[in-house]
Each structure stands twice: as C-alpha cells, then as structure tokens.
Amino acid sequence: MKKFLIAVLGAGLLSGCGASTQSDFSLELYLEAGENTETLEIDDTEVDYTWTYGEGGKESFALTEEEVQSLKWFIKDQILDQNLIERQTTNETGNPVEMTLNVEIDGITNEIIISGMSATDSEGQGGSNLENFSRIEAAQDLIAVVKDLGGLYEKD
C-alpha cells in the first residue's frame, strides 16, 4: 500500500498539479467504521488527525505546499471532490459505516455524506448495501496518504 501511495503522490507532483502556490484548500473528514472513528481536518497546510481505536489519540502536523497540491490531485482522482448523499440503513446485521467529507479545493466546496453497511452478515462477510462504497475506501486511502505524509506510520 505504501508504494502505491508514494507512486500516486509522485505522479501528482510530476503531472504539474503543483503549479499554483496558493493552496486554497480545506478538508473535514469524519469516518466511523464499526467501533473505529477517525477524523481528519486540514486547513491549508495544517493537519489534525484523531482516532478512537486502540489507545486513541490526536496528531497535528504541517504539510508542504507540494504535498497539498498532491492531495488535491489525489482527491480529484478518487472522485472525492463532488456532492453526494447516500443514506442506507445502518441497523442491519454487519458493520455500520458513516462518512462525512467537506472539501474545498481552489474555491469550490463539495460535501459527501454516506451511511450504510460495509458488510451485511454476522460474520462481517457479504456485500455492502451502499452503491458508493468505493468513496468510503477512497476516504480510507486518503487518511493513509495523509498519515504517511505526516510520518505517523514511522511512529507505529
């Protein structure tokens, strides 16, 4: 996964998406999957990441302008820069998931709200009841990218 993330970020930097020096970027992501909750807040280059699984905690760090430009590219590539609302039942057997993402890129603000089930049986198997489950996976990848940029994997 780490090699993939480095390749994606490298491709974003090489593609010229870093041409702008003004970041005009903010992001608020809330992702609850089962008993795990993660929040990611980015304002220009400042990042706050919190989580509730394990011992839980909070980390804050800064990104470079180039890293912010790469994140913008990643968000657009993963189609996380759109307005989307999908609400399915979360009281079935399986793993409930809820996500809210507010993102502003270059003056354009979008919001994604998704709630439903990631697995629909008691063993955690089976399909999701969400048509847009790929956005949940993309948000998880986004968190992984930001954690990698912030050096949080090195602390594990």
Tell me the pLDDT tens digit for each residue of 100-143.
999 999 999 999 999 999 887 777 677 889 999 999 999 999 99
Residue 40 tokens, joined: 């990611």
CA nearest neighbour of 79 among 48, 52, 112, 104: 112
Residue 114 tokens, joined: 């998704």
Element housing 42 (H / E): strand 36-43
Residue 79 tokens, joined: 């189609």
**Amino acid, res. 99:** M
Beta strands 108-119; 25-33: pairing state:
unpaired
Q: Exposed (0-12), middle (13-18) or buried (19+): which is 48, by Cβ within 10 Å?
A: middle
Strand partners of residue 25? 105
Whether the predicted pLDDT of 98 surpasses 50: yes
Confidence of residue 92 (pLDDT cuts 50, 70, 90): confident
| Contact between 1 and 47 (Cβ < 8 Å) | no
Backbone angles phi, psi at 79, to 5 degrees: 55, 45
- Residue position matching structure tokens 């930001």: 146
Return the pLDDT at 155. 63
Strand partners of residue 100? 30, 113
Q: What is the CA angle 82-86-92, rounded to 5?
A: 150
Residue 64 tokens, joined: 């470079």
Whether the predicted pLDDT of 77 surpasses 90: yes
Domains of the chain: 2-155 (3.30.1560.10)
